[in-house]
Amino acid sequence: MYPDEEYYEYVPDEVSLKIHEIIKEEVNASLKSNLSELSRLRKSDKEQRDKIYELQREVKNTKEEYDQKLKTALLEKEREVKRKIFQGFTMRDKVFFIDSRYINEPCPTCEKGKIKVTINGEEEKVQCPHCNGQGEKHIWTAYVRQGEISQVDFKTWYDESEKCTESYFYINTDKTDKKDSSKQNIKNIFKTEEEAIKECELRNNKEK
């Protein structure tokens, strides 16, 4: 600085301060607006991502539901076709079926296998002809059991010019049944217990 120069300190005038304040406010407003827009975009982006995720989840659930319904419908159709082939029954059907067994009943004609007869004026005891001296009769009796069809055997053959078919059903019984699974002809299988009992009574009456 030269000796004859005068020193001036810059002091902003009122106009400069006002301009500075206006610029500062505009900058702050712009920053605030930009930050607000950024926040909005972030929120909007999250909402879009959430919406996309929800749509994807709905599509997945719809597909799974459709696949399950299709699978169930196909299984039901398959079972329907098998029922037509196997005379109304198919695997996993709950059924009632007729089995048979011998039971022993006291002979109504004799006493301990002997009957009294008169021969030449004298009474004698001879072997009972109805039970062959056993004192009891072995009766073949039908009774009802319950189970679930686990397997079906189906065969077809020709008897001369006639086509013949036959079905056999393997039936698993529940734990309360002391006998093992049973192989049964269609004539022994029924959908209801009432039908099976009625048929049992008819067969047992024929045996008497």
**Which residue carries 């048979």 as its tokens?**
100
pLDDT confidence of residue 8: 47
**Which residue carries 């049944």 as its tokens?**
177
Within a domain: residue 185? yes
Bin 60: left if φ > 0, else alpha if -120 < ψ < 50, else beta. alpha
Task: Give residue 147's domain range.
Answer: 94-207
Low-confidence ranges of the chain (pLDDT < 50): 1-2, 7-9
pLDDT confidence of residue 16: 67
Within a domain: residue 48? no
- Nearest-CA neighbor of 199 among 181, 178, 184, 180? 184
Q: How many domains does the structure of the chain reveal?
A: 1
Within a domain: residue 43? no
CA distance readout (Å), 92 to 82, 110, 150, 178, 197: 12, 49, 6, 20, 22
- In sequence order, the 6+-apart residues with CB closer than 8 A to the CB of 15 are none
Within a domain: residue 46? no
Within a domain: residue 12? no
Q: What tokens were used for 49? A: 């991502």
Within a domain: residue 101? yes
Number of Cα atoms under 13 Å in the Cβ half of residue 29: 6
Within a domain: residue 83? no
Within a domain: residue 69? no
